[in-house]
């Protein structure tokens, strides 16, 4: 049984048809990347998965249950979490408070949750009483990931994790993604940076103007001529 399944999803923003018959699955423990250029519908896909926007046609199934008409908070309680684009930390709150907010639906987080996150990111324990807005970009990325992991997600969504980071931090960021993945969390990584994301992913999907144009194993996609021309630039 798939962990997440989008079945022929059509999503609209008012009269504008964004996602056109999108079908996508993620198996438990898998790392899947979703590639595509600007305005290809990547972020809308995430919003549809989370329930920020609801599709006009099609179904969203998560962990064996049809959640198409369920609100965001229900889906998050059921095991979804997101590291949003640009991280969106609560800047004037401390690192600890940011982590607590990640476990809002679980009463602010148990000691185990904190231990698990601190083990993954020892730096966050060190900086727990520091205001999140005063951290550097790479450190903020860790807080954002830690915050998302506080709710013990089965599937972690990542929206453009490489955005606004120095090249060396992008690499470090993807190492962390791999590390989190190895701890057993399934992940859907949305990226423009096809090269790095395909190197760590199991499978990949490629979107273009709201439609799926390619899908397959990450290794196969890396060899695909069209994709190389369009995104890898060689």
Partner 1 sequence: MSTDPTDPSAPRVGVDEWVASHEQRRAYRAGVAGMVERRLERVPSPAFYLAFGIAAAVVPALTSNGYVIDVGLNTLLYMLLALGLNITVGYAGLLDLGYVAFYGFAAYGYAMLASPKFGLHWDTLAVIPLAVLATVILGFLVALPSRRLVGDYLAIVTLFFGELFATVYQNGEHMSFFGHFGAHDVTGGPNGIPNIDQFNVFGARIGALNYTAYYYVALIFFMVLLFAMYLVDRSRTGRAWKSLREDPLAAELMGMPVNRLKLIAFASGAGIAGLAGTIFAAANTAVFASEFDFTSGLLIIVYAMLILGGAGSLGGVILGALVVNVSLEVLRTPGHATWIFYVLIAATLVAKLRPWHALAIVLAGTAAFGFIVHAIVSSAWPRGVHGQAPVGGILGSGLSHWVILPSSPMTIGNVAFIFLVLAVLALTLLKGWWQKLAMIPTLYLAAFVWENRLAVEPSITRLILVGVILIVLMNARPQGLLGTSRVEIV
Strands 155-159 and 186-191 come out as: parallel
Nearer to partner 1, 59 or 130 (CB): 130
216 close to 226: Cβ distance less than 8 angstroms: no
Nearer to partner 1, 23 or 73 (CB): 73
Identify which range of 60-68, 85-93, 174-182, 226-234 contacts partner 1 by CB under 8 A.
85-93
Q: How many Cα atoms within 13 Å fall on the side-chain side of residue 130?
A: 13
9 close to 60: Cβ distance less than 8 angstroms: yes
Is residue 91 within the footprint of partner 1 (CB under 8 A)? yes
Buried residues in 171-198 as b, exposed as e (16+ CB within 10 A) = eebbebbeebbeeebbbbbbbebbebbb
Is residue 189 within the footprint of partner 1 (CB under 8 A)? no
Nearest to 55 by CA among 6, 106, 103, 11: 11
Judged by CB under 8 A, which of 32, 114, 147, 173 binds partner 1? 147
Query: In which residue are the tokens 């600890």 written?
Result: 96
Is residue 76 within the footprint of partner 1 (CB under 8 A)? yes
Nearer to partner 1, 111 or 233 (CB): 111
Record the tokens describing residue 128, joined without a space. Answer: 């727990």
CB of 125 to partner 1, least distance (A): 12
Q: Classify 73 as helix, strand or coil.
A: helix
Is residue 118 within the footprint of partner 1 (CB under 8 A)? no
Q: How far apart are CA 51 and CA 203, in angstroms?
A: 24
CB of 233 to partner 1, least distance (A): 27
Is residue 127 within the footprint of partner 1 (CB under 8 A)? yes
CB of 92 to partner 1, least distance (A): 5
Identify which range of 25-33, 57-65, 89-97, 215-223 contacts partner 1 by CB under 8 A.
89-97
Is residue 93 within the footprint of partner 1 (CB under 8 A)? yes
CB of 111 to partner 1, least distance (A): 16
How many CB atoms lie under 10 A from the CB of residue 225?
7
- Sites of contact with partner 1 (CB under 8 A): 50, 52, 72-73, 75-77, 82, 84, 88-93, 97, 100-102, 104-105, 107-108, 126-127, 130, 134-136, 139, 147, 151, 168
């Amino acid at each position: 049984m798939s962990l997440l399944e989008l079945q022929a999803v059509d999503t609209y923003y008012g009269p504008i048809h964004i996602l056109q018959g999108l079908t996508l699955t993620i198996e438990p423990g898998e790392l899947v990347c979703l590639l595509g250029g600007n305005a290809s519908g990547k972020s809308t896909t995430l919003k549809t998965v989370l329930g920020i926007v609801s599709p006009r046609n099609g179904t969203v199934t998560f962990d064996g249950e049809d959640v198409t008409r369920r609100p965001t908070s229900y889906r998050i309680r059921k095991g979804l979490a997101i590291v949003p684009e640009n991280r969106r930390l609560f800047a004037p709150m401390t690192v600890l408070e940011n982590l607590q907010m990640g476990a809002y639906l679980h009463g602010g987080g148990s000691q185990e949750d904190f231990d698990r996150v601190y083990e993954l990111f020892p730096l966050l324990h060190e900086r727990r009483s520091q205001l999140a807005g005063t951290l550097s970009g790479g450190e903020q990325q860790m807080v954002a990931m830690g915050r998302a992991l506080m709710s013990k997600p089965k599937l972690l969504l990542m929206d453009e994790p490489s955005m606004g980071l120095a090249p060396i931090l992008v690499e470090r960021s993807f190492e962390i993604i791999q590390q989190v993945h190895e701890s057993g969390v399934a992940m859907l990584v949305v990226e423009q940076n096809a090269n790095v994301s395909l190197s760590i992913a199991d499978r990949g999907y490629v979107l273009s103007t709201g439609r799926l144009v390619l899908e397959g194993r990450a290794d196969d996609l890396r060899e695909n001529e069209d994709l190389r021309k369009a995104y890898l630039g060689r």
